[in-house]
Structures are given as structure tokens and as C-alpha cells.
Amino acid sequence: MRKIFDFHGGIHPPENKHQSLQGSIRDAGIPPELVLPLSQHIGTPASPVVAVGERVLAGQLIAEAPGFVSVPLHAPTSGTVAAIEDRLIAHPSGLPAPCIVIATDGLDEWVEQRAPGTGYRELAPGDLLALIRNAGIAGMGGAGFPTAVKLATRPDSKVQTLIINGTECEPYITADDILMRERPGRIIEGVNILRHLLSPSETLIGVEDNKPQAIAALRAAAAGSSIEIVTFPTKYPSGGEKQLIEILTGRQVPSGGLPLDVGVICQNVGSVVAIQDAVLFGRPLVSRITTVTGEAVDKPGNYEVLLGTPMSYLLTQAGYQPDRAQRLIMGGPMMGFTVPDANVPIVKTSNCLLAPGLTELSAPTPAQACIRCGMCAQVCPASLLPQQMFWFAQGKEYEKLEQQNLFDCIECGACSWACPSNIPLVQYYRASKAEILQLRREHTRAEQSRLRFEARQERMEREEAARTAKRAARKQAAEQRAQAAAAGGAGDEDPIQAAIDRAKAKKAAQQAGTGGTTSEREKLEKTVLTTRARLETATAKLQQAQAEGSDLADALQLGVDKTRAKLETAEQALQALLESDSPAPVTPADPAAAAIARAQAARDAGATSSPADKARSQLEGLEQRLEKTRDRLAASRNNGDEDKIVEALESTVVRLEEKVSAAREDLKAAGDT
């Protein structure tokens, strides 16, 4: 017998598993519509590769993984893409998220499936991993971490123990149990693929001792192999990855580390079967086994469900009685979350759909005072002191909370379950975690903008220095020119041509500039619009939650604040862009035409008068212009206009100053002659 270890704490809630273990796995069928969220996993959401109206076949790629920590998405059955839009999904926040909606055609036509089959042994590890990644597999035990990422070991790290998690410690859920009972052969095949990929020194399948049938089935299927089925006493949350690793190996995953740090890779039995499907049959992950149970359904059991199936469809199959239900829980009673609406879809991580009867689960009762009884600390599998964390969470003492290792809390809910005063402890920890993360983000952002500010300051100083140098150089040049002019008579450049050229260049530049910014403006405007819409929905939700007194209000409040901040930034950016787009201080209707007219007038005037008169009128004109530009510059500075504008005005002033002094020289020269 292998030595097994115990972990600290844990509880023994009523199991309530027999209800859903009455029959075997049933097929839930093809619903008329499938709603596939682009993000059913942890990481970057998938990006669609199909268009609305396109016909898709079962198993066809409909969204690809844009990054390493992401998984692609496949059509679960054949049909037409009806929409790509935001829909309500099963997420604790209760907010809508982008989904691909498929109107099914009931034919269930598959794309041609190509697979290496048992030839996978010839594949390089990288190719095998790619196969798993392309099948869209994400952890099916609940968290939904991309499986291929979890399996991608560094070359220098040795996998000592491969652990297959068949614990399923949470009450009510039997999806893994039934899978182990009915498909043990596929599990073992999948495990063999993983063993080939990882070459671990030992392979263990951990199952709680309350599943004797599953244990027997696995033992029979694994007979003759070195895969070991290890059983241990039932206790919640022994199925937590960290807890299971401790039970089977006695090792603890370091805080903030990965199982691989202690030589372990952990996979859920559901994911193992999905891997087997992908490698042997080329079947991507398009369906899963979901437990439907609770007193509000007449036919509790396990269903093979196409991903994207609306819950309401599945519930109907299971004989749901809405008048008997008071809430719908995605997941189990300990860690599951309530869904806002019965139409949200089943996703890759939906292991259970719990529809408890009106009195089945304790109604939220008002919390009493914490009597520091320590029950919570006794049951905490992370060996935390929940009552101390509760104390600090109430006082929003975030530093102390982090000292208490708040982030090692796995949110298992054991403390809340055991607390005699009914304090919703986990809720406090979740909210505090969210707030601390938010503060950290803000801190980084502040730090970044400080750096940006300093960089800008430096750049401006540098530019100022460069400008001064240039000015000095120009002045010198002007003086030289003046001397040259004085020496060689009147300048021979044509002022009209020069003005025309200048104005044309300016106009061209402006048009180019406007053209460039228009698209950006559109983008910004769109952002503002969508963000505003999102803010409105979120606010409405928040109000509803507050009205209902739901304890999600805190989380929603956070979301609303964030969205509002985003909206403000977007609006400001748009405002800034619009302002810089219309350079108010400078332009008359058509600057080029006006400049030509002015220059012509000047020339006409100049042509009929003596060189001295000409020089004088030129000087006067220039002086006027200089005066005007100076005023404008001062106004601009006062208004705190954009740097660009101020700088442009500054350089104009400098240029005019030079011209004025040149004109003075001219006049002097003309007067002299």
C-alpha cells in the first residue's frame, strides 16, 4: 500500500451524490441554438475565424487561439453562424461577453477528422502538444486552465509524478465519477498518452474512497500497467490540486509556485479523456459530461452536453420545475456560483448544474458576531487564520491581510461552511483580493505615468536646448544674409513664390494630419460609445443587485468603477484629439489662398513704390504680423494649449523676428542708397 498523507483541515459536508448516480450517461441532444463564449478558459479569449451566415461543420475551427495561454474553439455540431455578439454567460460577474452563436441544423455533419491514432508514439513532444492545444482542451475540473500550457514542461524540469485527479470532492457533482465508471478504458488510454509525453517516474490516479465502483472500474482497466489507483478518505477539499498533491506525495506546492516545482503535473480525468479523443480520433473538445441535479429537477443525472447548449435546454431535458427552484448554481454548492439567467450556455468548465429546491441549501442568514471560536482555522486546508483575515478585511487593512497570506486562500469555502456565526468569510476574501489587485494595478499605473512624465520633462528640456541653439544659428545666418544683402543689393528671391510654397506645404501637411486622425477619432468615438453602453448595463445590474441585496454588489461596484474610469479616459482622449484636429489659433478658411492674396497685394504695393518705401511697408507689415503672432502665442500659453501649437507659434515668432531685423537692414540699406 502506498503511504498517503493528510492535509490540514477539511470538512465533511453531506455528499448528496446518489441523486445524480441513478442512471448512466445520457445524451442531451442538439439544441436549436448553441452559444459559444470566446473565453471558456483562463487566458486570452479566442478570436473568431468564421463570419456570420457561414455554414460550419461539427469539429470545425470557429475561433483560434491568439496567444500561448489560450485555446481555440470548435463548432460542436453543424449549422450556420447566426451571430457573433455579446451574450450573457455563466460568469460570477454576470456580465455579457462575446460569443459565437450557431443555429444548428440537426444533421451533425462532421469535418473530416485526421488523427495520428496510435501512431502518436512517433510524434515529437512538441507536435503532440500542438495536437492537444489545437483540440481546444482546457482544464475540465473547474478552473479551465489551457491543458497544453500545463503540459508544456521546461526541458530542464523532470516530471516525477503524474497525478490524475478523479477526486471530485465537492458535494452533488458526479460527472467524473460516472466517467470513471463508464469509460475507464478511455481514461487509461489518455493517461498513456500523457505518460508518453511526460515520461513521469510514477503515475497515480487519485480517487476518494466514496467511489468504490469507479475505483474498481479503473483498477480493472489499468490492470497490468504501472498506473496506480490510489484511494484516500473522503474529505472536502481533497480534490483541490494543492491538497491532492499533498495527499499523494506529502509535498506542498510552494506559495505562488506551480506543481511542477515539486515535480508534479496534475490533470483532471475529464481532460484526460478529451486528450484521448483528440489524439486517437482527431475529435476536438466539443462536448462534456455535466451533472444536472438538485431537488428542482425530476430526472437528476449526468448528461453528455454539446458545449454552448443553453442551460434552459439542458434543464428541460432533466425535468426542471422552475417553481421549485430559488437559484441555479454552476458548479457545486461549495465553490459554484449562481447564474443570472437560465439561458446562459454550458461551457468547457461546467461540471455541474445544480438546481436546489427551495429549502435544500441554507438560505443566506444574517451573520452573527465572530466569537473567535476558531472553527474556521480548524478546517482551513491552507492553514490560514480565517477569523484574523476577516477582522482585517472588515477594517480594509490590506497590508495585514497580505501578511496573513490572503493570496494563499483557495476560496474553498470550508471556513464559511463551518462558521457557527454564519459569516460569509469567503466573500470578504474575494472582495479584498479584488481590491488589492486593483490597488496594485493602480500603483503600477501611477508609477508608469510618473516615469512617462519624467521622460517627457527630459525630452522637453532637450528640445528647448536644441531650439535655442537653432535660434542662435539662424540669427547668425540672418545677420550674415543681411550683411550680404547690404553688400550685394536687394534680395532676388520672389516673396510670392515663397509664400505660395509655404502655404501649400502647410495645407498638405494639415490634410495629411487630418486624414490620419479621422480614423483614430472614429476609433475613439466607437470606444466611447461602447464603453458608455457597457457602463449603462453594468450600472443597471448593480442597481438590481443592490435592490435585491445580493452580495455580488461589491464585485459589480468594482466593475462599474472600472468601466467608468475607462470611459473617462476615452472621452478625454477623444476631446484632446478633436482639439488638436482643429488648430483654432491659426487658420483662416483657406490659408494658401489668403497667403497668396496677401503676398500679391504686398507685391503690387511694392512694385509701384521706391525701394525704400517698399522696404518700409514690408517692415511695417512684418512688425504687425510679429505683434499679432506674439499676442496669439501669449493667449495660447495662457490657455494651456497643446505643445504642438505653442511650439509652432514660437517658431513663427522667431522667424518673424529674424525677418523684421532683416527688413530693418533692408530699409537701412535702401535709405542709404
Partner 1 sequence: MALLRVTSPHAHGPASTPRVMQKVLLATVPGIIALTHFFGFGILVNLVWACIVALACEALALALRRRPIGFYLRDCSALVTATLLAVALPPYSPWWLIAVGVACAILLAKHLYGGLGYNPFNPAMAGYVILLISFPVQMTAWAPPRGLGQLPGFMEALQACFWPPGYDGVTMATPLDLMKQNTGLLMTDLYAQTPQFGRWAGLGWEWVNIAFLAGGAWLLYQRIFTWHAPLAMLASLTLFAAIFYDGGSSASGGSPLFHLLSGATMFGAFFIVTDPVTSAVSVRGRLVYGAMIGALVYIIRVRGNYPDAVAFAVLIMNFAAPFIDNYTRPRTYGHKAGG
**Contacts to partner 1 from residues 532-551, by CB under 8 A:** 545, 548, 550-551
Cα 632 from chain centroid? 46
Torsion of CA 91, 93, 96, 99, to 10 degrees: -30
Q: Is residue 330 classed as helix, strand or coil in its secondary structure?
A: strand
Site string for partner 1, 170-189 (x = CB under 8 A): -x------------------
Smallest gap from Cβ 332 to partner 1, in A, equals 8
Which cell goes with 243? 491538497
431 contributes a contact to ligand SF4 by CB under 6 A: no
User: What are the angstrom distances between the C-alpha of 270 and each of 174, 235, 282, 283?
Assistant: 12, 21, 16, 14
Q: Restricting to residues 263-282, which ones interact with partner 1 according to CB under 8 A?
A: none
Q: How far is CA 469 from CA 383, 473, 657, in A?
A: 67, 6, 16
User: Which residues touch 174 (CB under 8 Å, ≥6 apart)?
Assistant: 17, 20, 21, 168, 291, 293, 302
**Does residue number 424 form part of the binding site for ligand SF4 (CB under 6 A)?**
no
Q: How far apart are CA 285 and CA 598, in angstroms?
A: 74
Interface residue with partner 1 among 57, 95, 335, 612 (CB under 8 A) is: 335
Burial level of 589, CB count in 10 A (0-12/13-18/19+)? exposed
How far is Cα 414 from Cα 404, in angstroms, rounded to an integer? 17
Looking at the Cβ atoms of 377 and 622, the one nearer to partner 1 is: 377
Q: Which is nearer to partner 1, 110 or 407 (CB)?
A: 407
Q: Which is nearer to ligand SF4, 71 or 376 (CB)?
A: 376
Q: How far apart are CA 528 and CA 530, in angstroms?
A: 6
* 132-143 core/surface letters (b: 16 or more CB in 10 A; e: else): bbbbbbbbbbbe
Query: Least distance from C-beta 6 to partner 1, angstroms?
Result: 13
Among 13, 37, 381, 559, binds ligand SF4 (CB under 6 A): 381
CA distance 666 to 45: 70
Parallel, antiparallel or unpaired: strands 202-208 and 161-165: parallel
Name the minimum Å distance from CB 381 to ligand SF4.
Answer: 6
Confirm or reject binding of residue 386 to ligand SF4 (CB under 6 A).
yes
Binding window for ligand SF4 (CB under 6 A); candidates: 293-301, 411-419, 564-572, 614-622:
411-419
Q: How far is the CB of 324 from partner 1 (least distance, A)?
A: 11
Separation of alpha carbons 342 and 537, rounded Å: 19
The single residue among 160, 234, 326, 421 that binds ligand SF4, judged by CB under 6 A, is 421
Rounded distance, CA 456 to CA 514, Å?
25
- 3-state SS, residue 91: coil
**334 is a site residue for ligand SF4 (CB under 6 A):** no
Any contact of residue 353 with partner 1 (CB under 8 A)?
Answer: no
Least Å distance, CB 367 to ligand SF4, is 9
411, 641, 657, 658: which one binds ligand SF4 (CB under 6 A): 411
Residues in the chain: 673
Q: Which does 390 bind (CB under 5 to 8 A by kind): partner 1, ligand SF4, none?
A: ligand SF4
Quote the least distance from Cβ 422 to ligand SF4, whole Å: 8
171 binds ligand SF4 (CB under 6 A): no
Q: How far is the CB of 235 from ligand SF4 (least distance, A)?
A: 13
Rounded least distance, CB 314 to partner 1, Å: 15
User: Buried b / exposed e across 420-446, counting CB within 10 Å, b at 16+?
Assistant: ebebbbbbbbbbbbebbeeeeeeeeee
Nearer to partner 1, 274 or 361 (CB): 361
Please tell me whether residue 421 binds partner 1 under the rule CB under 8 A. yes
Strand ranges (E), 471-517: none
**Which residue of 410, 496, 594, 654 would you call a contact of ligand SF4, by CB under 6 A?**
410
Q: Work out whether 375 is an interface residue with ligand SF4 (CB under 6 A).
A: yes
Neighbours of 460 (CB within 10 A): 12
Does 143 participate in binding ligand SF4 (rule CB under 6 A)? no
Residue 230 is a binding residue for ligand SF4 (CB under 6 A): no
Q: How far is the CB of 537 from partner 1 (least distance, A)?
A: 15
CA pair distance 562, 538, nearest whole angstrom: 10
When the beta carbons of 74 and 242 are compared against partner 1, the nearer one is 242
Question: Min. distance of Cβ 421 from ligand SF4 in angstroms?
Answer: 4
Q: Does 427 interact with partner 1 (rule: CB under 8 A)?
A: yes
Give the range of 9-17, 213-221, 454-462, 616-624 binding partner 1 by CB under 8 A: 9-17
Task: Give the nearer residue to partner 1 in terms of CB position, either 252 or 600.
Answer: 252
**552 near partner 1, rule: CB under 8 A:** yes
E strand spans, 141-259? 161-165, 202-208, 228-232
Among 69, 107, 371, 439, binds ligand SF4 (CB under 6 A): 371
Distance from C-alpha of 397 to C-alpha of 389, rounded to nearest angstrom: 9
CA distances from 489 to 255, 275, 670 (A): 85, 90, 9
273 touching ligand SF4, by CB under 6 A:
no
Question: Which residue in 136, 84, 87, 83 sits closest to 288, CA to CA?
Answer: 136
Q: Which of 415, 431, 560, 595 binds ligand SF4 (CB under 6 A)?
A: 415
Residues in touch with ligand SF4 (CB under 6 A)? 370-376, 379-382, 384, 386-387, 390, 409-415, 418-421, 423, 425-426, 429
